[in-house]
Every structure is written in C-alpha cells, then in structure tokens.
Amino acid sequence: MARLFYSERGDHIESTEPVRVSRYRGITRLNHWITAGSLILLALSGLAFFSPSLYFLTGLFGGGQIARWLHPILGVVLFLSFALLFLQMWRLNLPRPEDTTWVTRIGDVVTGHEERLPELGKYNAGQKFIFWAMSGLILVLIVSGVMMWQQFFDGLVPIQIRRIATLIHALAAVAIILVFILHVFAAFWVRGTLRAMTRGDVTGGWAWRHHRKWLREVAGRGDRGPAE
C-alpha cells in the first residue's frame, strides 16, 4: 500500500451525492472531547485558586476542598487523553514547506482569499501551531503540577523549586487557556470545521477549499484541479 503523506488510513470518501469525506473516526472524536472537557474543568478549577475574586468557581465542584482534590486528577486525565491524541495526530502535524507560504499569506487567510493560498494537507500551519503549543504546554503543566502535588509528591522537590514550579504552572495555564480560546474561535470562524469533530465528516467543497492535498490523496487522484 502506498505511503500516505497528507491523510490517514481511516480517511475516505463517504458519499458522492453530495460528496462527504470522513475526517475523524469516532474514537478520535471521543478522545478529542475528553481532552477538551478535562481542559475546561481544569481551567475553571485552576482559575478558582488563581485569584480570590475567582474563588466562587469552586462552587461548580462542590467547594474549595473538592476542587483542590479534583484539579490534579483532572490534570492526569488531560495528560493521558492528549497523549493518545498526540499518537494519532503527530505525523500529519509535522511542518511542511507549504506551511511557510501559508503563514506569509496570513492576510489572505483572514480575508478568505483561499485561491491565493497553497494546497494543504490535513492540517494548516495554524492548526499545527495549536497542536504543538498544546503538546508543549500540557507537558510543562503535568511536570510542574507533579512538583506541586503535595498529597503524593510532598518530598519530591525542595520548597524553592516548588515555588518556581508554581510560577511556571500558572504562566503555562494562562498560555494554554489563550491557545484553547484561539482553537475554539478558529473552529467557529471557518464554517464547516466544527462538523468534523461532531459528526466526523466534512463536505467535499470544504475539503477542496481548505485542504486540497488531503482531499486529493483521500480520493486517490493525481490530476490537478481547476482552482490551482
């Protein structure tokens, strides 16, 4: 079987009238939503301890004591869930030459002039940035979080190191919340994108407009279309 450069084995044309292309398997979508859900709960519980003015958020978890106990457990869930997602997606998120062109033409991306952009695989440079930013930040959060988790790792690091870990943890948390907001905004901004993670497929027109190299490989075509 030929090596795939822009798609995964599970990607396929589901129907031709209208054209629909399978983009994410059910297990991948479930994995994604577990990751997203745990990140949201972590953000809410973490913000509750970030400032006294936000302490009221602990009420969502049944009080401060439960929120403090639950927060690191949710962190482990996030780490393990994203690790599974990482194993599924890392290969297609590696940088490619067309990503540089896409970034330099970000103005055309914002204004919707897709015809001026290069053909792309399954993910564009913006999506790849989100993926690798999440990967790095989650790793920083789990390492610094373990250093702070006194219930099980009280003697793991000296108090001075724990204080530094706390600062790094807070900064990484703010950063990942911003990246998450960007991710959600992009999902709603590009019409048809959210469907891929809710129903698992996209329209042929969406695939042709935004991820043409991916569509070509999925369809098994070597010809060049009219909108080059």
For tokens 């901004």, the residue is 189
Partners of residue 20 on adjacent β-strands: 15, 203
Give the integer Cα–Cα distance in Å for 129 and 65: 36
Q: What is the pLDDT of residue 225?
A: 40
- Both tokens of residue 185? 């905004």
Which of 33-42, 126-135, 176-185, 217-226 has the lowest average pLDDT?
A: 217-226
Q: What is the pLDDT of residue 226?
A: 35
CA dihedral of 102, 104, 108, 111, whole degrees rounded to 10: 110
Q: What is the pLDDT of residue 135?
A: 98
Q: Could you tell me if residue 8 is inside a domain?
A: no
Q: What is the pLDDT of residues 20-31, one digit of tens each?
A: 999 999 999 999
Q: Of the candidates 86, 49, 82, which has an alpha carbon nearest to the alpha carbon of residue 64?
A: 49
Q: What is the pLDDT of residue 114?
A: 86
Q: Could you tell me if residue 2 is inside a domain?
A: no
Q: What is the pLDDT of residue 224?
A: 41
Mean pLDDT of 174-199: 95
User: 151 vs 165, which has greater pLDDT?
Assistant: 165
Average pLDDT, whole number, for the chain? Answer: 92
Q: Could you tell me if residue 196 is inside a domain?
A: yes
- Overall pTM > 0.85: yes
User: Of these residues, 169, 183, 210, 211, which one is catalytic?
Assistant: 183
Q: What is the pLDDT of residue 71?
A: 96
Full residue range of the structural domain in which residue 28 is found: 14-218
Q: Are strands 12-16 and 19-22 parallel, antiparallel or unpaired?
A: antiparallel
Asked if the model's pLDDT at residue 1 lies above 80, the reply is no
Give the integer Cα–Cα distance in Å for 225 and 41: 45
Q: What is the pLDDT of residues 116-125, one digit of tens each?
A: 999 999 999 9
Q: Could you tell me if residue 80 is inside a domain?
A: yes
Residue 41's domain is classified under what CATH number? 1.20.950.20
Domain count for the chain: 1
Q: Could you tell me if residue 3 is inside a domain?
A: no
Catalytic site includes residue 211: no
Q: Could you tell me if residue 83 is inside a domain?
A: yes
Q: Could you tell me if residue 223 is inside a domain?
A: no
According to DSSP, residue 118 is labeled: P
Q: Could you tell me if residue 44 is inside a domain?
A: yes
Q: What is the pLDDT of residues 88-113, one digit of tens each?
A: 999 999 999 999 999 999 999 999 88
- Both tokens of residue 181? 């907001």
User: 153 vs 1, which has greater pLDDT?
Assistant: 153
Q: How far is CA 51 from the centre of its chain?
A: 27
Q: What is the pLDDT of residues 45-68, one digit of tens each?
A: 999 998 899 999 999 999 999 999
Task: Name the pLDDT band for 84 (thresholds 50, 70, 90).
Answer: very high
Asked if the model's pLDDT at residue 222 lies above 50, the reply is no
Give the integer Cα–Cα distance in Å for 75 and 18: 42
Q: What is the pLDDT of residue 2?
A: 63
